[in-house]
Amino acid sequence: MQASPATAPAEAGGAARGLRARWLEGLERLHVLENRVRWAYTLPEGVSHAPRQLAAAIGQFDGVLSARENPVLRSLVVVFDRTRTSVESLEDQLLSLVAPLPRGAPAVPLHASGLAWLPVGLSLLNLIAGRFLSRQAQLAATAAIAWPIWRQAAADVGRLHLGSHLLEATAVLVSLRQRDLTAANATTFLLLLAEVLEESIGRRSDALLLSLLRPMEGQVWVLREGVEMQMPLAELRGGETVVLTAGAIVPVDGTVLGGQATLNEAAMTGESRPTAKERGDSVLSGTVVEEGRLLVYAEQVGAETAAAKISAFVRDSLASRSAVQLQASRLADRLVPAVFGLAGLTLLFSRSWRRTAAVLQADYCCALKLSMPVAFKAAMARAGSQGVLVKGASALERLAQADTVVFDKTGTLTTGRLEVSDTISFDSAYSPADILNLAASIEEHAVHPVALAVVEAARGQGYRHFEHTQVEFVVAHGVASAIGDQRVVVGSPHFVLEDEGIDPRPHQAAIEPLLAAGKTLLPIGFAGRLIGVVALQDQLRTNSRATVERLRALGARRVLMLSGDRPEVAERMGASCGLDGVHAGLLPADKARIVAELIAAGSRVVFVGDGINDAPALAGASVGIAMSRGAEVARLSADITLLDDDIARVADVKAIANATMARIDANYLATVGINSGILGAAAMGWLSPVRSSLLHNGSTVAILLSALATASGATPGRGDAALDVPVDEDRPAEPVLTRAEPPDQDRPHQDGPEAHSTPGRFVF
């Protein structure tokens, strides 16, 4: 067994340490409260232990009140008396423990080895064949086989806890006292069987969540100075160019620099169809290259990737508890004395130990305490498989209660991606198509959103390339080149019109309507003259209105939009989406203020956003939902994060939350109703102890299976229908750059002349 806490430190250099390896390699504090700490622990190579061994060891430390271990996630939660010990002291004692098993002899988890079924098998054998033994032998065998029940009851007594285990042990003890060995054996068998089944169902719900883990390890190919080389993934840093070929798992979150490929993103977004990726597209870690080849700029690596954050999300979700779970747990604990009281009254009035034993067979604890976490974990696993990360059971509970949904405009109701809406030529020698092609010819060497939108629009209209000299990138302004001996500039109005000294006044009449519509302008200057302008706009998502309608059907009484855009533009978009209200012309602080006002008025608010300025509103809302392409601070502030850039996922997770709480409510009513009926019938003498146990344990397992079913079933119809509304007028006054672009000098250009100056991106 483990070395005692008192002696383990002293044995650091002694014989015990020489014979056994240190039990723990390291500890990482995950969460610390006044008298509670949670660690993640690592084991040295070759050292293992059976479930709950570590918790049992630390439970012997002075000052420890309780300890709970999750050997699958390798986490340990300890409640302690701060007047008797400290976190630092506990860590020192833990790290001083020697391994409980020899190296190379890892323990097999009880459930994995099948040993958990041994007591069940023995109890069944005793139930069937025990009658061939003498009376005294039967009594001894029954008492011995019920050892797991006695042990659990003794643990409850030791913790001064009046729980269901004490009820169960008392029921078996009453049957033994009456020498009703058939009832005692049957009760023991049913209790042990139910416990194994309940643990199995609980592990199944954990396994559903654990299936979302995206382990990343091994080697990765990178491109450095034109040479492909392999390196350990652990050494990869942001800014590297990762080379991916067919069959590779994407190890980073980043942007495609070159190549074409199809990716299977089902593991991360739930999308079953392969997704085509090319230059400018974003990719997520954990997805798989089915065919093709990509060069990817690594923006997020290691613990910052989506795959790594899913792992952290799973770890936190397994330990999270919602308000309804806590209430149900407290109710179950309060009802145990009531069951004991009913058993006492039954004995007092009926003088029947048989009736009393039947009453003690039923309680509310198991179904109430187990079914809710199973339902929540199954629901979170289901959401995760569809590309929605829910950070804990309480987020699902609050989402189901929400009655008001508030959307930020840009990047949520709109795509957050600029698209070309207008191309105007101010020179008769150039058609609008020539203007677009000229802009694309210069911009095709950049990877920022404006450049990508211009190149994509040109290709959609039969792209004709203009020959030009090397491109000069002007940081945060634009690009410049030359055709013949004439200078060409494309970029922000500030760069083209002010820095380059090009006069726009002769064309002001054509420019003003574009500005009034909130469009982003990309002027093109040639030989010192303004020869044209390309207007870009953010697009309303095709399924925005359908998503709003679904949210109303799922219980949202109001759906609102917040925007920093001009009121007339925002209101037109709100009407297109069928919103109940629009708040426009807002500063970042105004969004959080409006959310706070709605909550103060009694609304349960869901806020959906994606920008840095949305973080206060996301944190202040009843439930914050961050879009997949949002800023990092937005995703950290949110309770729910979407991995798929699809607004319909907001309605999907609302549907999952509603279904989960409906399932929990139904299971709660079933638990109370069935067990109250069993208790009443047992007290009246209508049920024997065996029948009472069979009904109670059978109904508990059925309720747990019902809770587990939360993970199955199709999500209600996705609102993917395209809107039949014009969106050209609904444009933001500001451009939208959905992610910070990496420096272009770090990117290999696949075609076209090389830039010879420090590249940058447009900020208009």
- Summarize the confidence of residues 696-711 as an average pLDDT: 81
Handedness of CA 577, 582, 585, 586 (dihedral sign): negative
Q: Where are the beta strands (DSSP E) in 603-721?
A: 605-609, 623-626, 640-642
Contact in structure between 616 and 361 (CB atoms under 8 Å)? no
Q: Which two tokens stand for residue 134?
A: 């003498």
Least Cα distance to 602 among 563, 565, 558 occurs for: 558
Instruction: Sketch out the chain's domains with CATH numbers.
Output: 9-107 (3.30.70.100), 117-209+316-374+661-711 (no CATH), 230-303 (2.70.150.10), 385-414+541-652 (3.40.50.1000), 417-539 (3.40.1110.10)
Determine the Cα–Cα distance for residues 189 and 175; give it in Å rounded to an integer: 13
Rounded Cα distance between 604 and 403, Å, is 6
Q: What is the pLDDT of residues 493-541, one digit of tens each?
A: 888 888 888 999 999 999 988 887 778 889 999 999 999 999 988 888 8
Q: pLDDT band at residue 265, thresholds of 50, 70 and 90?
A: confident
Give the whole-number percent of the chain exceeding pLDDT 70. 78
Q: Is 422 a catalytic residue?
A: no
**Tokens standing for residue 676:** 């109250």
> Could you give the CA distance from residue 74 to residue 406 in angstroms, rounded to a whole number?
39
Token look-up 């194994």 returns 196
- Read off φ and ψ for residue 499, nearest 5 degrees: -65, -40
Instruction: Say which DSSP state 636 is in.
Output: H
pLDDT of residue 617: 87
Q: Which amino acid is residue 558, in one-letter code?
A: R
Question: What whole-number distance in Å separates Cα of residue 141 and Cα of residue 119?
Answer: 12
Phi/psi of residue 409, nearest 5 degrees: -85, -60
- What mean pLDDT comes out for the span 585-599? 88
DSSP string covering 164-215, please?
Answer: HHHHHHHHHHHHHHTT-HHHHHHHHHHHHHHHHHHHHHHHHHHHHHHTT---
Contact assessment for residue 457 and residue 440, using Cβ atoms and an 8 Å cutoff: yes
Provide CB contacts within 8 A for 198, sequence distance 6+: 366, 370, 700, 701, 704
Q: What are phi and psi of 733, to 5 degrees?
A: -75, -20
What pLDDT shows up at residue 730?
36
User: Cβ neighbours of residue 245 under 8 Å, at least 6 residues apart?
Assistant: 221, 289, 292, 293
* Start-to-end C-alpha separation, the chain: 68
Two tokens, residue 80: 């302690």
Measuring CA to CA, which residue among 458, 449, 522, 460 is closest to residue 281?
449
Confidence band for 236, pLDDT divided at 50, 70 and 90: confident
Beta bridge partners of 77: 38, 68
Show the tokens assigned to 540.
């309303």
pLDDT at 302 over 70: yes
pLDDT of residue 639 exceeding 70: yes
pLDDT in tens, 716-744: 444 433 333 333 333 333 322 222 333 33
CA proximity to 630, closest of 620, 618, 621, 764:
618
DSSP 98: B
What local confidence, expressed as pLDDT, does residue 103 receive?
A: 36
Instruction: Give the H or E element holding residue 144.
Output: helix 135-145
Checking if the pLDDT of 47 tops 80, the result is no
Q: Quote the pLDDT of residue 613.
A: 72
Question: Cα 310 to the chain's mean position, in Å?
Answer: 6
Around Cβ 12, how many Cβ atoms within 10 Å? 11
The two tokens of residue 278 are 């090319």
Q: Which residues are 261's β-sheet partners?
A: 277, 292
Q: Is 714 exposed, middle or buried (0-12, 13-18, 19+ CB in 10 A)?
A: exposed
State the Rg of the chain over Cα: 33
Burial 387-410 (b: 16+ CB within 10 A, else e): bbbbbbbbbbbbbbbbebbbbbbb
Give the number of other Cβ atoms within 10 Å of residue 710's Cβ: 28
Query: Considering 408, 434, 538, 744, which one is annotated as catalytic?
Result: 408
| Residue carrying the six token digits 């944190």 | 619
Mean pLDDT over 576-586 rounds to 90
Mean pLDDT of 108-125: 64
pLDDT (0 to 100) of residue 16: 33
Angle at 173 between CA 167 and CA 178, to 5 degrees: 130
Q: Residue 107 pLDDT > 50, yes or no?
A: no
Question: Is it the case that residue 321 has pLDDT exceeding 70?
Answer: no
The DSSP bridge pattern shows strands 404-408 and 558-562 to be: parallel
CB-side neighbour CA atoms (13 Å) of 737 = 14
Q: What six digits make up the tokens of 752?
A: 């076209």
More confident residue, 692 or 559: 559
In this prediction, residues 531-560 reach a mean pLDDT of 93
C-alpha 762/C-alpha 545 separation (Å) is 31
φ, ψ for residue 488, nearest 5 deg: -115, 130
Distance (Å, whole) CA 102 – CA 415: 58
CA 448-763-486 angle, 5° bins: 80
- 651: which residues sit within 8 A by CB, 6+ positions away? 547, 550, 551, 554, 718, 719
- Tokens at residue 559, please? 């759906």
Please state, in angstroms and rounded to a whole number, the distance separating the CA atoms of residues 222 and 295: 9
C-alpha 3/C-alpha 492 separation (Å) is: 70
